[in-house]
Structure 1
Amino acid sequence: MENLKQLKLENQICFPLYVIAKEITGLYRPFLDELDITYSQYLVMMVLWENDGLTVSHIGDKLFLDSGTLTPLLKRLEAKGFIVRKRKKEDERVVEAFLTEVGKQLQQKACEIPKKIQQKIGIEPEDLIQLKDTIQKILSKIEK
C-alpha cells in the first residue's frame, strides 16, 4: 500500500513543474502577442540575441529541441523577417541563423518582458533566483 502513495498526483515533482511551466508561459502570451511571436519563438530569439549566427544544431542544443521541432520555428521567424537562415559555404549541410535588423530591433521591445512577468508573479527576485538555481541543479543531474 505504501507504494500506491507514490502514485498520488500530490506526491509527484513533475506535476507542479508542469503546471508552473504552463502557467508562466501563459503569462508571457499577452506580451509576446504584442511582438507577434510565440513563447517558443521568443526562446529562439533570446538565444540569437545572446549569440547571433549560431547553427541550427547549436540553437537546438541550447533549447533542448530537435531539428524537427526547431526548423518550423526558424521558418516562421524568417517569414516574419526576424531572422535569415544561411547554409555554410564550407559545409552546406550546416545551416546558421542570423538576426535581421528587424530582429535586432525586436530585442529592444522585448527588454521589458522579464520585469513585467516578475511583477505579474509577485515574488521577490531573490526567490526567483533561488528557484531557478534549484531547477538548474536538477537539470544538470538529468541532462544527457
Structure 2
Amino acid sequence: MKSETWIFAVCTVFLVLVTPAYWLVTDSSEHGGDWTGTSALTMTTLLTAMVTFYLGFQARRMDPRPEDRKDAEIADGAGELGFFPPYSWWPLWAALTLGVIVFALAMKAWWLAIIGGVIGAIAVCGLVFEYYRGEHAH
C-alpha cells in the first residue's frame, strides 16, 4: 500500500501546484480566473488527498506486502491472487439497457425508460448471480 500512497501523494502535490497556476493563467481582466476549471481542479486535489490519507492509514495498519518490502523475493508474491471470471455476457446486456434508458430519457419516452429499467434489473440480477448456477457455479 505504500507504493500506492506515494503515487497518489505525487498526484496531490502536482494538483496543488497546478490549480493556482491554472487560476492565474485563465485570469481575465475583470472576472478573475475560470471558476469551472479551478473548481474542478480543487475538487480533484481534495479527492486525491483523501485517497492518499486513506491509503497511508491503511498501510500503517496492515502487514507489509511483498511489493512494499525491500528484502522481498519474487517467490514471496507467489500463490493464488483471486478469482477472475473467464467470460460473461451480462455486462453487455447491462450496458445496452443503460443505453436504452439514457436514450429514453433524452427523447422523453418514459415508457421506454420503464422497459429499459425492467430489462436492466434482470441484467443486473444475472450479472450478480451468474456464478450461483450454470457452468461456472461454485
TM-score normalised according to structure 1 size: 0.24
TM-score normalised according to structure 2 size: 0.25
Higher strand share: 1
Instruction: Compare CA radii of gyration and give the structure with the larger one.
Output: 2
